[in-house]
Amino acid sequence: APVSWDTDEIIARRDRYYAASQRAFVPYAKPLILKKGSMQYVWDEEGNRLTDLLGMNLCISVGHAHPAVVAAVQAQVAELTHCTTMFYHPVPAHFAEELAATMPAGEDWVVHFTNSGAEAIDLALMMARVRTGNLDVIALENSYHGATYGAQSVTGLQNFRHNAGQLSNICFTSDPNQYRGVHGPGVEPYLVDLERTLATATTGSVAGMIIEPVQGYGGIVEMPQGFISGAAERIRAAGGLMIIDEVQSGFGKTGRALWGFEHHDVVPDIVVMAKGIGNGIPLGAVVAKRDVAEAMAGKFLFHTYGANPAASAAGRAVLRVIQEDRMVENASKVGAVLHQGLKDLAARYPIIGNVRGTGFMQAIELVRDHDTKGPAMEETAFVFERTREHGIIVSKSGNYRNVLRMVPPLCLAMEDMDHVLGALDRSFADLAEHLG
C-alpha cells in the first residue's frame, strides 16, 4: 500500500509500532512531520519551509539532497548496491585512501568502515585495548559517544545511560567546560584532575582516552587549547592511546579545518567519524594508525554494511563537494556572522547566559541568573517551540536541556542570516512577552 500522509495516521502508526525508547524523544509539542529537503531547507507535510540548523542531527553535512551526492548514490545503487568486504570493489577503497589522506602527514593511516558512529566507537575502544594490552579507558564528563554498550559506557550524560549495566574499566574525569566546568575557565586544573583520575581510578596502565573536540549533545562545549594535547601526553605516559570522536565536529563543522582535532596540536591514534560522512546515508568509520589497527589482525571483524559501495560513493561525493564548494571556509565566514548575531541577542535578552561556538557549531545557553548559572529549562523549552513557528529548526541539548544548539549543513548561506537571526530574535521576544 502507498504510505498515508494523513497527519493523524502518521502519528498513530509511529506511536503504535515504534518501541518505547525509539519514540520517547519528541522535541516539539506538535509533532513535526517532514516531507522534503533541499540543501539547508526542509518542508513539512503542510508545505511550510524551515531552515534546518540541525542538519538533521548533523547527518546532512553538505545539504539535503545535494545533487552531487544524489547522483553519486543513484549511479552506484543502480550498478552494484552492496558487496561485503571479502570482495574487492574500487569505490570503498578509493574512499579509504581519500579519508586517510585527510589525516596528519607522517603517519600511516588505515580505515575500517562500520555501519554507524556507535559501532565505530566500540571498535575504537576495542582496538585501543587490543593494541595496548590494557583495559582502562578514560572518558569526559558531559560527553556523548553513542547508544551501544561500549559507546554508552563512555558517555558522561545520565540521560543516555540506561539501567542495563555498563562496560567495566571505564572512568570519567572532569570536563574542561569553560563556562560551567567544576574549575571554571582554565586548562591546568582539569589536567590535574586527569592525573588524579589516572592515579586513583586506573591501574596506571591505560588503553586510552576518548574526547570529542567539541562536545555535541553536551551542548557545544569546545575543548580549550592545551587540554587535548596535555591529556594526550599524560595518557601516552600511562601507555594509552588518544581516541578522537569526530562524529559531530568532523567534516568541516568547526569552520577551521576538516577535523576538530586539527587546531589542538595533537596527532590522534584513532579517529572516529560518522553522521556527516555520508550526508545522511548510514556509514561510520574508524581511521587509525596502521600499527594500532594491525593489532587486531588474525581474527575476523565484520560490519556487514561497512565498506558498502553505495555509502562509500556518498562519502566520496561529500569530501569532493566540501572541497570544491569551499564549504569549510563558508562555515567559518557564515558561522562568524551567526556567532556575532547570537552575541547581539545575548546583549538584549538577559536570559542568555553564554554564547559559544566555532564555525557551524554554535550554541546559546539559557540561565535564570548569570552568577549562579541556574539552568533555565522551561524557558529554553518555550523558546525552542517558538523557533519552529518562526521557521527554523534548532535543538535543545546539554545535561539540563537549556542549550539551543545550532549545527547547520555546511551550505547555510549569508543570505539565510536575516531569517535565522530574525527567527531567534522573535522567539526570545515571545518569551519576554510570555514572562511579562
**Which chain residues interact with ligand PMP by CB under 6 A?**
116-118, 121, 144-147, 212, 216-217, 245, 247-248, 274, 284
CA–CA separation, 237 vs 205, rounded Å? 9
Nearest approach in angstroms of CB 238 to ligand PMP is: 24
Judged by beta carbon, residue 118 or residue 363, the one nearer ligand PMP is: 118
Nearest approach in angstroms of CB 2 to ligand PMP is: 30
Judged by beta carbon, residue 121 or residue 311, the one nearer ligand PMP is: 121
Nearest approach in angstroms of CB 121 to ligand PMP is: 6
Judged by beta carbon, residue 279 or residue 427, the one nearer ligand PMP is: 279
Nearest approach in angstroms of CB 426 to ligand PMP is: 29
Phi, psi angles (nearest 5°) of residue 285: -155, 150
Secondary structure of 206-246 as H, E, C letters: EEEEEECCEECCCCCEECCCCHHHHHHHHHHHCCCEEEEEC
Contacts of 366 (CB under 8 A, 6+ apart): 351, 352, 353, 375, 376, 379, 380, 383, 402, 403, 404
| Cβ–Cβ < 8 Å for 135, 204 | no
Nearest approach in angstroms of CB 298 to ligand PMP is: 27
Judged by beta carbon, residue 212 or residue 416, the one nearer ligand PMP is: 212
Nearest approach in angstroms of CB 146 to ligand PMP is: 3
Q: Write the DSSP symbol of residue 110.
A: E
User: 169 by DSSP, 3-state: which?
Assistant: coil
Judged by beta carbon, residue 266 or residue 352, the one nearer ligand PMP is: 266
Judged by beta carbon, residue 63 or residue 216, the one nearer ligand PMP is: 216
Burial-class residue 54 by CB neighbours within 10 Å (0-12, 13-18, 19+): buried
